[in-house]
Amino acid sequence: MRRSLPLLAVLVLGALLAGAASAHRSAPTRKAANIQACVLLPDTTSSVRYQLFDKPYLSKAFRAAGISSLVLNAQNSAQTQRSQGDQCLTKGAKVILVDALDSATGASIESAAAAKNVKTIDYDRLVLNGKASYYVSFNNVLVGKTMGKGLVAALHANGKYSKHPVIAELNGGITDNNATLFKNGYDSVLSPLYKNGTFTKAKSGDQWTDWDAQKGATIFEQMLAKNSNKIDGAIAANDNLAGAVIADLKSHKLSPIPVTGQDATPTGVQYILAGWQTGTVYKAVKKEAAAAAKVAIAIIKGKKVTGVNGASNNKVRNVPSVLLTPVWVTKSNYKLLFKDGFLKKNQVCIGAYKKYCK
């Protein structure tokens, strides 16, 4: 017959088991809290790039350097992004990469980080009035200039340049500083041509879209109506907006016109091959992510940050910047996207578009 344990032994054993269980439960919490680098991405609607490219590239770069990281997406919610910034701090991040939905949100996140002596890096978008130690992006004014020059070249090529072409501009999001820089870039090319009468800006032909393709389609539909369907070229600030323009042209059974784009999406490249889109700005996200991760890793490991090649004014101060150069992609060089591994041939050269690939 087994003897019962004395009451004291039972209590001691119970306490030990409870402690062990508590330790077992808390271990993942301690591990989860030990995040060195945190990344805040804005959405999945303005561009497909964030989940398809930025997230895996950044995660891989940090993993290769032995840096624990967390990559979060705000799903187009400023409140979510602010909450995710707090989450990064709670988990002990030493550096936060901020691709802010808007400058107010980004500045709030960066102020909270600075209060805890956590460094921040503006990633892809400069945060106005922010506290970032560095800014890593493409030269966004140059991105806009590239679009403007691409549109001008296409109008030369189709013979419309000398016939006072009517131009529409569909800008990105008015609260997105990058969209402002893009516009500064293409306006620097187009404004002199409007001024000297070479080009004519369409009636109601310069509008902000909030990076919303559906809104962009509605806006361009209205532009067509106000201009009797006579629009000869369009600046579309990214491929999603270009697609909206193209859909409207098709629905009215209108011929293709020069249309710009950005982000080198599979659909954008397909439209380029089919002759509906003039070109797209290719920003090699792999290079951008690698450059940003390199800066963050140097900060975390207490090493000198290298690669700074400029300064960007955030309305408070000039932020040391790593600025990369974009590439204009057309029918002549689209295979670069396959070579770089940015897109796969089977994402583009399929279905009705297969015949365009050589």
**pLDDT tens-place string over residues 137-166:** 999 999 999 999 999 999 999 999 999 999
Same domain, yes or no, for 228 and 94? no
Same domain, yes or no, for 101 and 174? no
Same domain, yes or no, for 344 and 204? yes
CA 156 to CA 235: how far, in whole Å?
Answer: 15
CA 222 to CA 217: how far, in whole Å?
Answer: 9
Burial 29-68 (b: 16+ CB within 10 A, else e): eeeeeebbbbbbbbbeebbebbebbbbebbbebbeebebb
Same domain, yes or no, for 333 and 348? yes
**Given this model, what pLDDT does residue 77 score?**
97
Same domain, yes or no, for 120 and 225? no
Range of the domain at 84: 32-132+284-325
Summary mean pLDDT of the chain? 91
Same domain, yes or no, for 314 and 187? no
Same domain, yes or no, for 147 and 104? no
Residue 2 has pLDDT above 60, yes or no: no
**pLDDT tens-place string over residues 63-97:** 999 999 999 999 999 999 999 999 999 999 999 99
pTM value is 0.82
Same domain, yes or no, for 91 and 165? no
5, part of any domain: no
| Number of domains composing the chain | 2
What CATH number is given to the structural domain containing 73? 3.40.50.2300
Burial 228-266 (b: 16+ CB within 10 A, else e): eeebbbbbbbbbbbbbbbbbbbeeeeeeebbbbbbbbbb
179, part of any domain: yes
Q: Residue 191: CA atoms inside 13 Å, Cβ hemisphere, count?
A: 8
Q: How confident is the model at residue 16 (pLDDT cuts 50, 70, 90)?
A: very low
Same domain, yes or no, for 220 and 350? yes
Same domain, yes or no, for 127 and 253? no
Residue 246 has pLDDT above 70, yes or no: yes
